[in-house]
Structure 1
């Protein structure tokens, strides 16, 4: 099962849409050419990532983590509650974003809640009240567009922590985002090392791995040795720099109770892109190499 769905991006030269999915990240890490399959125009993964981070008005940022999207049209009768049930599509997954777009004038879908408005989403079933603000609307249509975490990722703690990091980033809770992003990367690194090191049968790597149970030691000391031994592609200096910058701020927050580092949205976005790419590396590279043995 793929880790993420097809994510379509538009070529800035020819305007055609192309898949921005796992194959793109494989090519990125292995240094292969990246370009539009139609006009062969080259593109920059970092710029595409920045675009995905910035274009969040319809929840597009969730696609990077592995969330899936769908849409449906519904018929609304003014004054008559509508039960929207997404269970057949989402199943045991988790709804993380929803958008209602009325088609036409007059009727606006409003969510009905009890005494305590839910936040975040607690169910895949939502009751809507079609409010007629014009006083003359008949049955009207609306498009429901939503993103959800598929059920096969719900129990992947690294994915859910990265999801939390993204959500906190868009809420402006930057320090919370940093802690969640670092935790996500630590979990994915630990899983990568535990799955990969035993397959090497290399006692030196195993001994180095067991020397210290810290992220700094395992990311900056063990991982490079393992990558060299297995001839995996390097993660990249720019990614490593962002990972270590974010790690330092996270350590201040955890060990000192706060961080004096001033962060703006763009600076944290660039760090999160670095963290996310390292996260993708751990999800893809080891698995893809050993699956083909």
Structure 2
């Protein structure tokens, strides 16, 4: 099978003014945002607000930019197909780990002669993309000896260590499918679980495990953890408070989650603008909690 592997990358976010320079979505840049450190475009001197930079990704009809917010990769390659023949696209052979979650694929002929069609068995699975894809070259237009086809694959790493992060990836996946209600619960779970883990670890030196679990499950539940304990823990760890707009959105997300879990529906239909802000808040919230946990761990090491 003939192909040219072009690149694998996490899309960066371009300067909103000059668009000449793009910036990587990294923990360092997000940490600067949480610490109030002003960043500027070195080309046009525009101040960069990371919240605004990443929120606009949800407005673009380009999944690679949306998946980039949650660490999603984009692999681009060019394959060469012949009409009437099958091209076997083995994703592992082009560098995508076998255990990865394949989020989306696209195939664009760069010429005439054929159109690529995915083949499947007699019972196609609609919500799963396999690691080996069979593409049939259906003749289209004037016949050519071979036709180059641009292929783009969005995927995310999958491992036991990032199971919580997979929830936010699932939320973005639902967003790209315009299934906005399906975004709510995984977005909420990703932050709530991470926060609970942080609190459990933080309070474990002060009480037995079962007492800490009971306290967080029956006393200081998610709302209290988010709005009272988290600012306290951040303050005691010499870490900035979570921005109010993000915490407010997470509270709103919690309310929608409760509506869906308890009543099966929300008071009013969730629109694209609303869910964009909520998913983005979840991604920022996850990054904030991970950075805070790193800060706590470093302080503990220094104390010892």
Check whether the contact 1:96–1:120 (CA below 8 A) recurs between aligned residues: no
Report the Cα offset of residue 251 of structure 1.
1.1
Check whether the contact 1:162–1:180 (CA below 8 A) recurs between aligned residues: yes
Report whether the alignment pairs 1:181 with 2:187. yes
Report the Cα offset of residue 6 of structure 1.
4.6
Distance 1:209 1:224, change over 3 A: farther
Task: Identify which of 160, 166, 169 aligns with 2:172.
Answer: 166
Q: Which moved more, 1:208-217 or 1:40-49?
A: 208-217
Q: Which moved more, 1:279-288 or 1:67-76?
A: 279-288
Task: Identify which of 278, 287, 290 aligns with 2:294.
Answer: 287
- Cα root mean square deviation, aligned: 2.4
Distance 1:173 1:228 in 2: 38
Q: How many pairs align?
A: 284
Unpaired runs of 5+ residues, structure 1, are: none
Task: Identify which of 10, 14, 17 aligns with 1:10.
Answer: 14
Report the Cα offset of residue 87 of structure 1.
0.9
Secondary structure of the residue aligned to 2:64 is coil
Aligned to 2:76: 71
Aligned to 1:238: 245
Distance 1:202 1:56, change over 3 A: farther
Distance 1:13 1:270 in 2: 22
Check whether the contact 1:6–1:21 (CA below 8 A) recurs between aligned residues: no
Q: Which moved more, 1:36-45 or 1:181-190?
A: 36-45
Distance 2:298 2:232 in 1: 21
Normalized against structure 1, the TM-score is what? 0.87
Superposition pairs for residues 117-196 of structure 1, below 5 Å? 117-152=124-159, 156-196=162-202
Deviation per CA, 1:62-113: give whole Å up to 9, x if none: 1111121211111101111000001131122121111112111232111111
Report the Cα offset of residue 141 of structure 1.
0.9
Normalized against structure 2, the TM-score is what? 0.84
Distance 1:151 1:250 in 2: 25
Report the Cα offset of residue 137 of structure 1.
2.0
Check whether the contact 2:100–2:156 (CA below 8 A) recurs between aligned residues: yes
Distance 2:127 2:233 in 1: 40
Distance 2:273 2:201 in 1: 34
Deviation per CA, 1:44-65: give whole Å up to 9, x if none: 2222122211224343211111
